[in-house]
Structure 1
Amino acid sequence: MQGLHFCANLKWLFTELPFEQRFAAAAQAGFEAVEFGLPYDYEADFLLQQLKENGLRQILINTPIGPADSVMRSGSACQPQSSEFFRNGMREALRYAAALDCPFIHLQAGILPPGVNEREALQQFISNIKWSLELAVEQGVCLLLEPINLRDIPGFFLHDFHLAANIIEQFNSPHLRLMFDIYHCQISHGDISHNLLRYLPLTGHIQVADAPYRSEPGSGELNWDFIFKLLRQQDYQGWIGCEYKPLTNTAESLSGGWSGLGSGK
């Protein structure tokens, strides 16, 4: 779609292929950039090689998470007992971002842990953002806050777009922005067009998936022609991450022409 820039999320797209083959598949599909949350199972040099060989840019990574059976499985920034884990993880994320020339790091809030109330979690979250932001400014990267709906991740602390925007406004830094995931906003709040217009000035990155099943745009209840037209009218120049579960396979999910990629181009 003219005027909009889409990047492939390699956790969600091309999953019919081994991870290391997804870079070439993304380039062949017409993507110029990729994102994926957790690069830490691979050496940064290996990932950089995949990017260079396929003419791709790395746009986004996440801060590390803990084991799948731990309270840190969706991040740890709001958890007072996980402060050391979070700070070590942020340093690692910054190291990867520097190696991959990646402009955005998603600072994952995490699940509200047992025995911690929302006020305490917010204080810890703010403290960790402040500490991380000093390092991000020094390195020249941007931190993103992403509200995630409670249906997909029960107990996730940062599920409210309005709270995320309020935090970002308080810091008033170009190095702290909103990750506006349209699917999460639809599940949590609805009223997509109004919320996009309201929070686009605070937004550093957008992600797309249709509701209610988190599948490709055009497969669900949202009016994507209207949404993409709105973004063009607002002259949105940032990246749009394709973070969805294809109903069949990735090539077919791109063939409808909504992205300007695939056979519908």
Structure 2
Amino acid sequence: MPKFAANLSMMYNEVPFTERFAAAAADGFQGVEYLFPYTWQPEELKALLQQHGLQQVLFNAPPGDWDGGERGLAALPGREAEFREGIALALNYAQVLGNRLIHVMAGILPDGADALAYRNTYLNNLSYAADLAAQAGCRILIEPINHADMPGYFLRYQAQAAEICAELKHPALAVQFDIYHCQRTEGSLSHWLQEGLAREYGQIAHVQLAGYPGRHEPDTGEIHYPFLFQRMDELAYSGWVGCEYRPQGNTSAGLGWLRNLR
């Protein structure tokens, strides 16, 4: 059975963020992830992890003006200096919190934009970030995100992510495979899981789940997760599976799917 990490940005919204660590530990989670740590000092978050016996698995690099609609900087021409500052900050947090995976968001491609210029910027920024991450013992992750949830997002398809990683050939660059996003965009979940775990470059290093449609618990909707969990075992996937879903009600009450697996 895979290792499951609670996503504290989406789960346990019944309590303030700093109380979600205790709630996740009480439900048996051993790992946590969330979107951004930067509102808090890294030492404060580390203390919460240690207090509750949790492992920090993943967070995102700074995405630009999130509240203003920005969804990453990596592919945005003219924002390179800000991107580099964000990578340095993310790696500083990772050194304190102990995670070795950092998701770098690509950004939104405006209508009529020069796609080639955005792609070249993306490649250059990912190469820079992966170099720094390698020095710190970390890996940079890229994640295809569907256009219904995030219109205009630069990185949309699994094959697109694989192509970028194959072009850069950087061992510190990997893929974050979000099952929900993949199902909404292209399906063929078992195929992309197997293909992604077999790559020489850009191998899947982190998986996220949610039910589809609705993005709720994984035992809701059309995705047959027991089959996918079995495939992960068969393919010897040893990474974490982040529970990046919106509970339909109380988070703990909706964890029947996990209790049944255990």
TM-score of the superposition, structure 1-length normalised? 0.93
Alignment correspondent of 1:26: 24
Residue 177 to residue 124, structure 1, CA distance change in 2 (3 Å): same
For residues 169-205 of structure 1, give each alpha carbon's deviation from its aligned partner in whole angstroms, at most 9, with x where no partner exists: 2223331111000000001111111111111231000
Matched, 1:190 2:187: yes
Number of residue pairs matched by the alignment: 258
Alignment correspondent of 2:243: 242
For residues 203-229 of structure 1, give each alpha carbon's deviation from its aligned partner in whole angstroms, at most 9, with x where no partner exists: 000000011111111100111111111
Unaligned runs of 5+ in 1: none
**Residue pairs, 1:76-225, within 5 angstroms:** 76-113=73-110, 116-201=113-198, 202-225=203-226
Larger mean Cα displacement after TM superposition, 33-42 or 109-118: 109-118
Partner of residue 53 from structure 2, selected from 49, 55, 58: 55
CA contact (8 A) 2:61 2:104 kept: yes
Alignment correspondent of 1:230: 231
TM-score of the superposition, structure 2-length normalised? 0.94
Residue 70 to residue 83, structure 1, CA distance change in 2 (3 Å): farther
Residue 259 to residue 146, structure 1, CA distance change in 2 (3 Å): farther
Structure-2 separation of matches of 1:169 and 1:68: 29
Structure-2 separation of matches of 1:150 and 1:113: 13
Structure-1 separation of matches of 2:51 and 2:105: 30
Structure-2 separation of matches of 1:64 and 1:17: 24
For residues 24-76 of structure 1, give each alpha carbon's deviation from its aligned partner in whole angstroms, at most 9, with x where no partner exists: 011110011101120000000100000000000101010112224546x2111
Q: Post-superposition shift, 1:259?
A: 6.9
CA contact (8 A) 2:131 2:172 kept: no
Classify the secondary structure of the residue corresponding to 1:168.
helix
Residue 33 to residue 177, structure 1, CA distance change in 2 (3 Å): same
Residue 259 to residue 54, structure 1, CA distance change in 2 (3 Å): farther
CA contact (8 A) 2:33 2:57 kept: yes
Which residue identity does 1:150 align to in structure 2? H
Q: Post-superposition shift, 1:114?
A: 5.5
Residue 257 to residue 40, structure 1, CA distance change in 2 (3 Å): closer
Structure-2 separation of matches of 1:12 and 1:180: 18
Residue 69 to residue 60, structure 1, CA distance change in 2 (3 Å): closer
Structure-2 separation of matches of 1:250 and 1:231: 25
**Percentage of pairs with the same residue:** 39
